[in-house]
Structure 1
């Protein structure tokens, strides 16, 4: 059975700071939105799998964010924590239409 998704507006592309995170809330989910230096927008859950650090407050480097609590390195494309640490965070697909950024939220 194919899962349905809902597109939710999360902001204007120009309003997203480059190489910095921004926390947004959609339904009961807290998400971290990143506008990368290459122009791509990535959205992941805003909670490190280690100790729950707010990833939107982390340092961005290329396609990764570093958790502000213990410096875990997390890939913004696939959500995988980089070795030697282990774990992953949920990632969300995004789209940009008429300068507006949308995130795709899976329906239950």
Structure 2
């Protein structure tokens, strides 16, 4: 198995938006920050599991649509007074294609 899996084109992710990649256990959200940087997290807010892919992207952060927690797209850490972390997914770009770490697409161990 390759260490990296192609999950789509860079242009598939809208500016200041996200694209969801189906994965066992918990989907992955690939975000495009305001400067065009692509970053990926598990699509679950650490607070109550809200879909981060449906949140508002600003700078290199996303605001959860359920309870307004702000999550760093670079680290997955919640910002401000909130405490928690969304799992960061290794991502790289190969030309115009988005690749994520193959291990991120495997079912989570119980």
- Both proteins in one fold, TM over 0.5: yes
Q: TM-score scaled by structure 2?
A: 0.86
**Matches of 2:81 and 2:24, distance apart in 1:** 33
Off by >4 Å, runs of 4+ in structure 1: none
Question: Which one is further off, 97-106 or 79-88?
Answer: 97-106
Mark the CA change 1:29 to 1:8 in structure 2 (over 3 Å): closer, same or farther: farther
Assess if the C-alpha contact under 8 Å between 1:13 and 1:101 holds in 2.
Answer: yes
**Matches of 1:29 and 1:9, distance apart in 2:** 18
1:1-108 equivalences in 2 (<5 Å): 6-106=3-103
Q: How many residues align?
A: 104
- Name the structure with the higher strand share: 1
Structure 1 gaps, min length 5? none
Assess if the C-alpha contact under 8 Å between 2:43 and 2:52 holds in 1.
Answer: yes
* RMSD of aligned alpha carbons: 1.7
